[in-house]
Amino acid sequence: MNKKKPTVFIVDDEPLLSEMLTDYLKGKYAGFSIATFPTGEACLQSMYEEPDIVVLDYYLNSREKDAANGIDILKEIKKQNKAIPVIMLSSQESYGTAAQTIRYGAVHYIIKGQDAFEEIFQIIKANV
Amino acid sequence: MVDLTFLKKFTKEDAQKMKRYISLYLDVAPKTFEEMKRNLNNEDWEQLRINAHSLKPQVDFMGIDSLKEELIKMEEAVKTKNFDTLETLFTTSLKIATNSEIILKKMMDKL
């Protein structure tokens, strides 16, 4: 990790995942500055804070049907700042979905599950 | 039916954190099932699949493997357009979810 206080944005409409991930990352490295967002739209409104990395859920419309999905938010983030690394999260074990997110600029695609927390930490560590 | 091994390891057996995570799950799961019931009644199969899909990791964290399996079956049934099996799958899932919520509440009280 090059930065002492990297800012991490977590975008997920499931509060359990966001809270567990926040706790895990802070437990691994107290220097993280973490902000969580329940929708992609809320994340986009805070992009002026220039996060060092974004952890973005693929399905962001399970709670709000009309909310933008992760792939649209990924495209918008990349449009605003191509250099920001984005980790995509999903429960889908699908090469097609993973390939699609990588094609749009995600640095990594991680499947949600018990092993995801450490994987996310490792990817963040390698990218900030 | 409920195996908190992962949660215990994840929280390093911190009872307060375990309670917090379980309560977040208990808040979300019944609402998701209500939403899935509506999706089923409205034959909104894609939203039903998304809801089952979204609940899956949370169910995994709570160690409710039988429910996770049913949710996967629901996702697959939508993907393969086997819509006539969804009612039964939903009923089975709801039964497991309701029973596991009772167990989780009891476990929380003991923490």
- One DSSP character per residue, B32-49 reads HHHHHHHHHHTT-HHHHH
Average pLDDT over residues A95-122: 91
Q: Measuring CA to CA, which residue among A46, A14, A7, A50 is closest to residue A29?
A: A7
Q: How many CB atoms lie within 10 A of CB A99?
A: 11
Closest CB to A14: pick one of B10, B28, B47.
B28
Model pTM score: 0.92
Tell me how far apart the terminal alpha carbons of chain B are, to the nearest angstrom. 18
> Closest to A16 (Cβ–Cβ): which among B6, B25, B50?
B25
Check CB contact under 8 Å for A14 and B56: no
Could you tell me which of B78, B8, B11 has the C-alpha nearest to residue B47? Answer: B78
Average predicted confidence (pLDDT) for chain A: 91
Using beta carbons and an 8 Å cutoff, which residues of B are at the interface with A? Answer: 6, 10, 17, 20-21, 24-25, 27-28, 32, 47, 50-51, 53-54, 56-58, 60-61
Beta strands, E only, A1-128: 7-11, 33-37, 53-57, 86-90, 108-111
Q: Which of A94-103, B65-74, B88-97, B100-109 has the lowest mean pLDDT?
A: A94-103
Structure confidence by residue, pLDDT tens digits, A32-82: 999 999 999 999 999 999 999 999 999 887 666 677 889 999 999 999 999
Report the alpha-carbon angle B100-B22-A87, nearest 5. Answer: 110
Query: In which band, very low, low, confident or very high, does the pLDDT at A92 lie, cut at 50, 70 and 90?
Result: confident
Predicted complex ipTM:
0.90
Sign of the Cα pseudo-torsion (B29, B32, B38, B42, in order): negative
Give bridge partners of residue B22 from the DSSP assignment.
none
3-state secondary structure of B14: coil
Contact A62 B21 (CB under 8 A): no
For residue B20, give both structure tokens: 């917090």
Q: What is the pLDDT of residue A62?
A: 65
